[in-house]
């Protein structure tokens, strides 16, 4: 497999694509685009990103502040799927990308208790079911018929009772006319300084006769000691948190839950200590004050969170907390790696 190392520390001001990548302008359109983690990944890999669908007006405003997209639909994917006025370019896509909200399948979430129920995100979005959004996205695939369709979600989608959803997704891809492959990838092996496992369904339209996609990334893990504190305020822990930090350092234990268990309590299992020698744990939109560093016994600064998520250091968060938006996004470098291989192995042979 041809390899290219996309640097996790980068700036929008340097432009697209990444240095050493040839711009080929294969066309991509996104759904559930959030702040544009995936969008930036495709552009780093030489694609033309046409825009996307985002239900949240506040997040869409952040997207607009950082991306010059031709088409941006600020609406529910269900509304988008009913549209009959879409531009012709959207029916001639090389890749359709989608990352439906994953809290329904996350092992850290409510999982089965939330399946089939409506929920309102704190951003102020409308009340809606989340577990069926993966199938709404398949409807988008059927509508636009891209050459390649990619669906990203959490590892929990292929674990436990959620496996039934995964099987149904695979079946729906097949019914839509796509040969689908399932990949479980860890961003830490792809040049991202973060342990972040994600599932990718990648379908090739079955009128193309090409070998199966091979995705085998083995980049050297990037330890947290390489992450620089370039800007941002330190979050100082309270007395209880500091006791936990000191205990974890003394016992070489990253899990705060073990600290509480040492005196008979069951709590703190989402709180982690980042050792300098280790890769940072998964950054989520919820753990703003749940990740602490060995180096200064403080929480992540903005610049540290940005680097861990492989976002550009000059990204305009438009007043939003960087860790919140980065935690909701697919790391740009993760998508850049995948998109680069899709181009090298498939698209360059059918353009």
Residues with catalytic roles: 102
Query: By C-alpha distance, which of 159, 182, 161, 162 is closest to 170?
Result: 182
CA angle 121, 126, 127 (to 5 degrees): 75
**Residue found under tokens 């998520």:** 309
Q: H-type helices in the chain, by residue range?
A: 37-44, 57-66, 77-82, 133-144, 163-175, 239-250, 256-261, 302-308, 322-328, 332-345
Structure-derived torsion over alpha carbons of residues 132, 309, 194, 158, reported in degrees to the nearest 10: 10
Contact residues for 4 (Cβ-Cβ < 8 A; gap 6+): 18, 20, 21, 337, 340
Tokens of 255: 């899990």
Query: By C-alpha distance, which of 305, 337, 317, 347 is closest to 44?
Result: 337
């Amino acid at each position: 497999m041809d390899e290219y190392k996309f640097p996790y520390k980068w700036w929008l001001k340097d432009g697209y694509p990444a240095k050493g990548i040839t711009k080929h302008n294969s066309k991509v359109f996104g759904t559930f685009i959030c702040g544009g983690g995936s969008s930036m990944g495709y552009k780093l890999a030489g694609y033309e990103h046409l825009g996307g669908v985002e239900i949240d007006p506040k997040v869409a405003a952040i997207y607009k502040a950082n991306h010059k997209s031709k088409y941006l639909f600020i609406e529910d994917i269900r509304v988008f799927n009913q549209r009959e006025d879409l531009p012709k370019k959207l029916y001639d896509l090389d890749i359709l990308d989608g990352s439906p909200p994953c809290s329904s399948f996350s092992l850290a979430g409510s999982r089965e208790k939330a399946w089939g129920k409506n929920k309102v995100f704190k951003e102020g979005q409308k009340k809606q079911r989340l577990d069926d959004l993966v199938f709404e996205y398949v409807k988008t695939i059927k509508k636009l018929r891209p050459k390649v369709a990619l669906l990203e979600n959490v590892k929990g989608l292929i674990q436990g009772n959620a496996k039934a959803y995964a099987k149904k997704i695979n079946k729906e891809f097949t019914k839509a006319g796509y040969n689908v492959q399932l990949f479980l990838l860890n961003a830490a092996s792809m040049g991202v300084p973060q342990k972040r496992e994600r599932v990718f369904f990648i379908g090739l339209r079955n009128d193309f006769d090409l070998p199966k996609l091979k995705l085998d990334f083995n980049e050297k893990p990037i330890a947290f000691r390489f992450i620089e504190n370039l800007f941002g305020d330190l979050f100082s822990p309270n007395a209880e948190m500091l006791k936990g930090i000191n205990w974890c350092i003394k016992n070489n234990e990253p899990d705060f839950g073990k600290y509480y268990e040492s005196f008979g309590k069951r709590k703190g299992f989402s709180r982690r200590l980042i050792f300098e020698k280790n890769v940072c744990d998964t950054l989520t939109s919820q753990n703003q004050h749940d990740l602490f560093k060995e180096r200064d016994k403080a929480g992540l600064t903005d610049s540290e969170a940005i680097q861990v998520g492989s976002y550009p250091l000059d990204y305009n968060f438009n007043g939003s907390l960087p860790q919140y938006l980065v935690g909701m996004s697919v790391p740009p470098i993760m998508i850049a790696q995948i998109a680069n291989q899709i181009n090298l192995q498939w698209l360059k042979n059918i353009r």
